[in-house]
């Protein structure tokens, strides 16, 4: 294994990996489950020819018009989540609220968004006082199990599952089959408990895929596998990023005020509920968006990327044999003074000054042909969450900074002294 921590070497590796589809993380377990069970391959597949057929489906997520259309919906879901903080939280003596498990609470928000996008349905995870239907809950549990198993596979080079069906392999297999069954039932309108169908005129992804899939010779089950891949990829990653950004806000009260003022001006409101943010309004929230960009630069929840090259190469004078796992150390670059002045300081105006940021020094969504197709969706979710949170609450945190913890996705380490307190603006 080799770790590279400078933008030039990162660029070299990403460019070399173009056209080979090679990724190199330890994701073979996902292919093993598909092959053993005659299931279609996930978008995470290492089988390059299979990946090439399905990647065009997820590329639709990158279409700017999709995000424009989705913005008001994401904004409404963010507003619901903010309204649910008191239901999910614990009231403190001073009248503020804390979320005892902030990451799980944020998963409700990101899951609800992805379900709406992929299935055109609402599970009601962010709806106040709503009980989630049992079969929908099972799907959520399956997705969470898949995320947990895939994340631990990513961090390990243990391939025992190739020879013996390990408990971890069995869990991934069971969850994958169960999620496929539920997605199939939804598609065929056969859920045990009917769900609210969104009537905002947007097509769900499964429908969009159907047309594309025909061209690529993909089956109905291939579409479901891609769809589940999108859900699995988009929940924990985005909630981790939301959590980082809320912590950054909490330790920067003056920034909260700057964002609040910008929001009130752009939306032309100061009281009453925040209307759903429209795409042209989101465009004008430049300080908010630049704040988020710099917060995730300082604390990229996906700290590392991986690639495998199928030829010998030389990097910085070192000979790297083919098939070596190459770790692209995004986190290291993002916090290096050589590339970012005062790197631990989050400054929404950094990008006004440093207009020429090298794209290979900002790798939180990866780059190249296997880069994250969900990055625009994820960013829209984070922007909308921040806007709705700062509109309703002041965030307080006794600590001056936060530590990040892994393994896998990095999230702020929460302890007794640095819990975020949500203080309602109305109570001030
Ligand atoms: C903040 C949230 C997110 C982060 C930090 C993130 C990060 C990443 C990264 C680092 C990769 C690998 C890129 C590479 O190797 O070059 C990736 C792949 C992927 N992401 Fe995301 N992601 C996020 C949200 C999402 C969302 C919301 C979706 C779906 C709507 C999504 C769908 C995917 C898919 C399908 C892949 C696999 C692409 C492929 O292998 O061709 N991600 N993501």
Higher pLDDT, 322 or 194: 322
Place of tokens 């649910």: 84
Look at residue 167 in the predicted model and tell me its pLDDT. 94
pLDDT at 427 over 80: no
Ligand 1 pocket residue status of 339, Cβ below 6 Å: no
- pLDDT value, residue 355: 63
The tokens 């424009």 sit on which residue? 68
Is residue 204 predicted with pLDDT exceeding 80?
A: no
Confidence of residue 212 (pLDDT cuts 50, 70, 90): confident
Confirm or reject: Cβ of 378 under 6 Å from ligand 1.
yes
Break the chain into its structural domains and give their ranges. Answer: 2-424
Verdict on whether the full-model pTM lies above 0.85: yes
- Nearest-atom index, ligand 1, CA of 25: 15
- State yes or no: pLDDT of 72 exceeds 90: yes
> Cβ(58) to ligand 1 under 6 A?
yes
Task: Pick left, alpha or beta for residue 14 (phi over 0 → left; psi -120 to 50 → alpha; otherwise beta).
Answer: alpha
**From the CA of 426, how far away is ligand 1's center (Å)?**
38
Work out the widest C-alpha separation in the chain, in whole angstroms: 63
Q: What would the pLDDT profile of 358-391 be if each residue is shown by its tens digit?
A: 889 999 999 888 899 999 999 999 999 999 999 9
301: Cβ contacts below 8 Å, ≥ 6 apart:
237, 240, 241, 243, 244, 364, 409, 410, 411
Specify the CATH number for 2-424; select among 3.40.50.1000, 1.10.630.10, 3.40.50.720, 1.10.357.10. 1.10.630.10
Instruction: Please tell me if the CB atom of residue 229 comes closer than 6 angstroms to any atom of ligand 1.
Output: yes
How many angstroms from the chain centroid is the CA of residue 394?
25
The closest-lying atom of ligand 1 relative to the alpha carbon of residue 241 is 1
Q: Tell me how far the alpha carbon of residue 337 lies from the centroid of ligand 1, in angstroms.
A: 27
- Percent of the chain topping pLDDT 90: 65
The predicted model gives 240-246 an average pLDDT of 98
> Which residue's CA is the nearest one to ligand 1's atom 43?
372
pLDDT surpasses 70 at 26: no
CB 328 within 8 A of CB 307: yes
CB-ligand 1 contact for 371 (6 Å cutoff): yes
Decide which of 182 and 382 is more confident: 382
Distance CA(377)–CA(116), nearest Å, equals 12
Instruction: Please state, in angstroms and rounded to a whole number, the distance separating the CA atoms of residues 202 and 89.
Output: 32
pLDDT digits (tens, 9 = 90+) for 93-119: 999 999 999 999 999 999 999 999 988
- Report CA torsion sign: 271, 272, 276, 280: negative
Ligand 1 nearest-atom number relative to CA 367: 16
Q: Which residues, in sequence order, are bridge partners of residue 319? A: 314
Atom of ligand 1 nearest to the CA of 377: 27
**C-alpha span between 70 and 48 (Å, rounded):** 31
Q: Confidence band (pLDDT; 50, 70, 90) for 23?
A: low
Torsion of CA 14, 16, 19, 24, to 10 degrees: -60
| DSSP letter for each residue of 203-257 | PPHHHHHHHHHHHHT--HHHHHHHHHHHHHHHSHHHHHHHHHHHHHHHT-HHHHH
């Amino acid at each position: 294994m080799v770790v590279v921590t400078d933008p030039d070497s990162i660029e070299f590796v990403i460019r070399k990996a173009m056209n080979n589809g090679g990724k190199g993380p330890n994701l073979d377990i996902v292919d093993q489950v598909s092959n053993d069970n005659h299931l279609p391959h996930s978008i995470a597949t290492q089988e390059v020819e299979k990946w090439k057929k399905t990647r065009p489906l997820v590329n639709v997520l990158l279409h700017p018009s999709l995000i424009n259309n989705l913005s008001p919906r994401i904004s409404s879901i963010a507003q619901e989540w903010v309204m649910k903080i008191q239901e999910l939280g614990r009231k403190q003596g001073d009248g503020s609220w804390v979320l005892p498990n902030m990451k799980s609470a944020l998963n409700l928000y990101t899951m609800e968004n992805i379900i709406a996008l992929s299935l055109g349905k609402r599970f009601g995870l962010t709806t106040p006082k709503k009980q989630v239907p049992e079969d929908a809950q099972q799907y959520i549990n399956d997705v969470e199990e898949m995320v947990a198993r895939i994340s631990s596979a990513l961090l390990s080079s243990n391939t025992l599952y190739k020879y013996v069906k390990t408990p971890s392999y069995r869990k991934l297999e069971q969850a994958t089959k169960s999620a496929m069954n539920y997605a199939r039932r939804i598609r065929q309108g056969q859920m045990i408990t009917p769900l609210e169908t969104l009537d905002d005129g947007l097509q769900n992804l499964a429908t969009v895929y159907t047309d594309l899939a025909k061209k690529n010779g993909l089956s109905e089950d291939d579409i479901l596998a891609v769809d589940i891949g999108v859900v699995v990829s988009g929940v924990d990653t985005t909630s981790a990023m939301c959590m980082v950004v809320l912590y950054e806000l909490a330790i920067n009260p003056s920034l909260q005020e700057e964002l609040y003022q910008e929001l009130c001006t752009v939306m032309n409101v100061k009281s009453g509920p925040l209307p759903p943010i429209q795409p042209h309004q989101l465009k004008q929230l430049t300080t908010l968006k630049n704040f988020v960009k710099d917060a995730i630069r300082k604390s990229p929840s996906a700290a590392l990327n991986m690639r495998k090259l199928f030829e010998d190469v030389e990097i910085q004078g070192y000979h790297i044999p083919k098939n070596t796992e190459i770790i692209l150390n995004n986190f290291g670059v993002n916090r290096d003074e050589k590339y970012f002045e005062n790197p631990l300081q989050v400054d929404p105006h950094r990008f006004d000054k440093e207009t020429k940021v090298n794209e290979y020094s900002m790798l939180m969504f990866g780059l190249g042909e296997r880069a994250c197709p969900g990055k625009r969706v994820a960013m829209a979710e984070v922007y909308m969450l921040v806007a709705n949170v700062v509109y309703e609450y002041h965030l307080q945190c006794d600590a001056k900074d936060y530590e990040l913890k892994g393994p896998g996705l990095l999230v702020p380490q929460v302890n007794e002294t640095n819990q975020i307190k949500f203080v309602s603006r109305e109570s001030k």
